[in-house]
Amino acid sequence: MVEAVQSRAAQQGPRGVSILGATGSIGASTLDVIARHPGQFRVVAVTAHTKVAELAALCVQHRPHLAVIGDPGREPELRALLRRAGLSTRVGSGIEGLLEAAQSQDAAVVVAAIVGAAGLLPTIAAARAGKRLLLANKEAIVCAGALLLEAVRSGGATLLPLDSEHNAIHQCLAGAGSHEGVRRLILTASGGPFRECRDFSAVTPEQACAHPNWRMGRKISVDSATLMNKGLEVIEASWLFGFARGQIDVVVHPQSVVHSMVEFGDGSVLAQMGTPDMRTPIAYALGFPQRIDSGSEPLNFLRMAALTFEAPDLDRFPCLALAYRALEAGPTASIVLNAANEIAVEAFLARGLPFTAIAAVISEALDAIAAPAPESVDGVLQIDALARRHARQAIAEIAATGVR
């Protein structure tokens, strides 16, 4: 069946790709890989939240059919820039535009790289439309795992993870041929910029965003600094691969060469390795089941330093422990965890919340909010909104009292 599908695609020319979140780091890496394979892929839609000039520049370079700006108030500005450039690219905005980009008939592939819960609706729409869905928006599956996977099944979509850790696990499981005999999944974490830090009281946004190995956006960089990013990945791995909390471990691996591992019941361990470059998992997902050039530097074993592994310190990085707690508690807790974290990180980046208080805001929200698992996207969004309100209230109280 795969060969037949590929044969038809080859006869029809390059596969159309829609990139949701094209001006971010994942979007930039995806566009770089696509540019290396002009006969296989073409960009048909690009979206951004507020970066109008950057989005217009991408349109000039890649000539998509559709450009969408998330902020409807900036649509006239985007139209003017594209008109000035002499482009006939159609322009959309807001959730309607994002949904159009996600479901475009011109796109066989959709890259879901919108940061945060804002990517939930277009990601599910792409799944329902039967796309090859390359998932970089971990919040969509953390908040609505059951709904997203059902959309993938009902729409006949193909879901491939772009996070380097889950992409590595996918590669290991594909190499093994099945999930049978798997004892546990082992996610690796770099440890972020504060792996050896003992005093977090004066941490600044600039320090938190200075990741030692990866180039990422500000929100995900802070998540890496708190290890919340790894916590969200634990929840994502549970949904993607069907493993319980007790079968998913995290180890800190500062070199970021081993991207994750799968341990089998006979004691064998398969690991996926490579230089820390997001173009590698992107190329894997775009070309799967074939391998295509990513542009990343080959791994030079002769020049490689020692590879080290250590247990994460949950006392210094309580956000990871909170994520494990949410996974055990169920879907509602995962929604609350994600929403409260987004608000807390936003406040920290705006210098309105100390770094040390991020976990406290999330913990308070988890303590305060309990509800049955949502059965619809509207239900997910309602819990999400409730958690955000609670987090904002907790932040205001911390600002007023100084209590953390």
Per the CB < 8 A criterion, the answer to whether 373 and 332 are in contact is yes
Task: Sort strands 258-264 and 248-252 into parallel, antiparallel or unpaired.
Answer: unpaired
- Which pLDDT score is estimated for 12? 63
| Sole residue written with tokens 């070309």 | 287
pLDDT at 116: 75
Q: What is the pLDDT of residues 342-390, one digit of tens each?
A: 999 999 999 999 999 999 999 999 999 998 999 999 999 999 999 999 9
What tokens does 173 get?
Answer: 């499981």
> Could you tell me if 32 and 58 are in contact, meaning their C-beta atoms sit under 8 angstroms apart?
no
- Residue 399: the pLDDT is 86
3-state secondary structure of 282: helix
Give the pLDDT score at 168: 97
- The residues facing 41 across adjacent strands are 15
| pLDDT for position 125 | 97
Q: What is the DSSP letter of 369?
A: -
The DSSP code sequence of 207-238 is HHT--SS----HHHHHHHHHTHHHHHHHHHHH
Q: At CA 221, angle to CA 259 and CA 361, rounded to 5?
A: 115
Tokens in use for 26?
A: 């994942």
pLDDT for the residue 213: 66
Q: Which two tokens stand for residue 34?
A: 């696509």
pLDDT given for residue 403 in this prediction:
57
β-strands 132-135, 41-48 pairing: unpaired
pTM over 0.85: yes
Determine the pLDDT at residue 7: 32
Question: What is the structure's pLDDT at 127?
Answer: 97
CA distance 221 to 225: 6
Residues of the chain with pLDDT under 50: 1-11
Residue 248 bridge partners (DSSP): 185
